[in-house]
């Protein structure tokens, strides 16, 4: 056999399976009217993928299934070769509505996660790590406050710091910047981008903001809502996967000057206006 010239055998191809594989997911609260069906996509290691779609199409449900916090009616999710069957510290989640423990301070909310991730760490090491991530989201001055003493945007930033602090294999972000003012949003987007690029973090993120998706994502999944059409009920699903052709080292300030930006933006906005929802 001429092993050196023959193509890679099937077994060798299997080794390079995508980091995340989502296969034919569906979710139905009423059997005849699934929220979405036949949702399949992949993420490569180090890839940043955004999903965009109107309210109610099932974005959070998909993210919760990837997080292991919800179950699909049918279909599978594999991460790093293993089926996702429950929550785990290798996936960090930032929820649409922050999910902080109200009786713990910012410091202890984050330390709780860090101690679960690295139970062998000494107190000083936990402390230093927590303080670094709190500083990243600009909340050092509020580190000893409880969630009830924080604004909505501040609570959201604690959730972001907590998810990053456990250095997960994959970040799952559900509209993480929705509650932030434009200035904070911009600086955290920049910060997120820098960390993600440095660490080659794999990210799946929901956003309603087309520019945010274009800034951050390598690929954008466009999702349509379930609808009653003349041909009958159509479950929600992924209508299209758009690759972002803009150079990867783009920044907020220069985004709209890049060739291809308006074309990409118009394509996504057109989808949202004309194809995402039955009218």
Contact between 228 and ligand ATP by CB under 6 A: the answer reads no
The residue from 56, 81, 87, 260 that contacts ligand ATP (CB under 6 A) is 56
Element at 60 (helix H, strand E): helix 59-67
State in angstroms the smallest separation of the CB of 187 from ligand ATP. Answer: 24
Q: Are 45 and 19 in contact (CB under 8 A)?
A: yes
Q: Are 157 and 139 in contact (CB under 8 A)?
A: yes
- Give whichever of 136 and 180 is closer to Mg ion, judged by the CB atom: 180
Q: Are 90 and 117 in contact (CB under 8 A)?
A: no
The residue count for binding Mg ion (CB under 5 A) is 1
Contact between 73 and ligand ATP by CB under 6 A: the answer reads no
Both structure tokens of 114: 């860090």
What is the DSSP code (8-state) at residue 4?
T
Contact between 29 and ligand ATP by CB under 6 A: the answer reads yes
The residue from 19, 28, 38, 60 that contacts Mg ion (CB under 5 A) is 60
- Give whichever of 136 and 216 is closer to Mg ion, judged by the CB atom: 216
Cross-strand pairs, 228:
233
Q: Which of Mg ion, ligand ATP, none does residue 188 bind to, with CB < 5 to 8 Å depending on kind?
A: none
- Give whichever of 53 and 75 is closer to ligand ATP, judged by the CB atom: 53
Sorted by sequence, the CB contacts under 8 Å of residue 67 that are 6+ apart come out as 87, 91, 93, 172
| Residue range at the interface with ligand ATP (CB under 6 A); choices 53-61, 146-154, 189-197, 257-265 | 53-61
Contact between 184 and Mg ion by CB under 5 A: the answer reads no
The residue from 20, 22, 35, 72 that contacts ligand ATP (CB under 6 A) is 35
| Tokens 């790590």, located at residue | 129
Characterise 138 by phi-psi region: left (phi > 0), alpha (psi -120 to 50), beta (else): left
Element at 126 (helix H, strand E): helix 123-136
Residue ranges in contact with ligand ATP by CB under 6 A: 29, 35, 53, 55-61, 96
């Amino acid at each position: 056999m001429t092993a050196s010239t023959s193509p890679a055998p099937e077994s060798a191809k299997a080794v390079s399976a995508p980091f995340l594989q989502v296969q034919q997911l569906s979710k139905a609260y009423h059997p005849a009217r699934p929220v979405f069906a036949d949702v399949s996509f992949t993420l490569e290691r180090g890839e940043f993928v955004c999903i965009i779609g109107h309210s109610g199409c099932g974005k959070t449900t998909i993210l919760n299934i990837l997080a292991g916090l919800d179950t699909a009616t049918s279909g599978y999710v594999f991460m790093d070769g293993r089926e996702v069957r429950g929550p785990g510290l290798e996936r960090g989640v930032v929820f649409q509505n922050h999910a902080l423990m109200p009786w713990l301070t910012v410091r202890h909310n984050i330390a709780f996660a860090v101690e679960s991730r690295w139970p062998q760490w000494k107190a000083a090491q936990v402390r230093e790590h927590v303080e670094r991530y709190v500083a990243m989201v600009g909340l050092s001055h509020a580190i000893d406050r409880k969630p009830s003493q924080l604004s909505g945007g501040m609570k959201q930033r604690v959730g972001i710091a907590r998810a990053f602090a456990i250095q997960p294999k994959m970040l799952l972000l559900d509209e993480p910047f929705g509650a932030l003012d434009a200035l904070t949003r911009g600086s955290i987007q920049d910060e997120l981008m820098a960390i993600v690029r440095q660490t080659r973090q794999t990210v799946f993120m929901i956003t309603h903001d087309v520019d945010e998706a274009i800034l951050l994502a390598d690929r954008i999944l466009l999702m349509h809502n379930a609808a009653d059409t003349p041909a009958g009920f159509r479950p929600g699903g992924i209508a299209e996967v758009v690759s972002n052709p803009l150079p990867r080292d783009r920044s907020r300030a220069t985004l709209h000057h890049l060739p291809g930006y308006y074309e990409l933006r118009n394509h996504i906005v057109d989808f949202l206006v004309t194809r995402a929802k039955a009218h």
